[in-house]
Amino acid sequence: MTKLLEQAFEAARNLPPAMQDEMARLIMAMTGDEPPVVQLTAEEEASFDESLAQAERGEFATEDQIRAIWAKHGL
């Protein structure tokens, strides 16, 4: 480890935990070892798995269903 990096880590020790975590994410992103941004719950993972399975089966919303969603949100 270089002297400059050691100095940076020493300075980071005095930062609030949230800033330390952000710095850690940046370093991990630069080294290609970035953790997932969002941790999914088991229920969320199951929901995504089901959505992917529906897509593989060709089960998509109809145009009328899409229009209804847009209308609901004023789009």
pLDDT single digits (tens) 32-41: 876 666 778 8
pLDDT band at 30 (very low <50, low <70, confident <90, very high): confident
pTM for the whole structure: 0.43
Q: Is the pLDDT of residue 4 over 70?
A: yes
Contact 39, 30 (CB under 8 A): no
The per-residue pLDDT for 35 is 66
pLDDT band at 67 (very low <50, low <70, confident <90, very high): very high
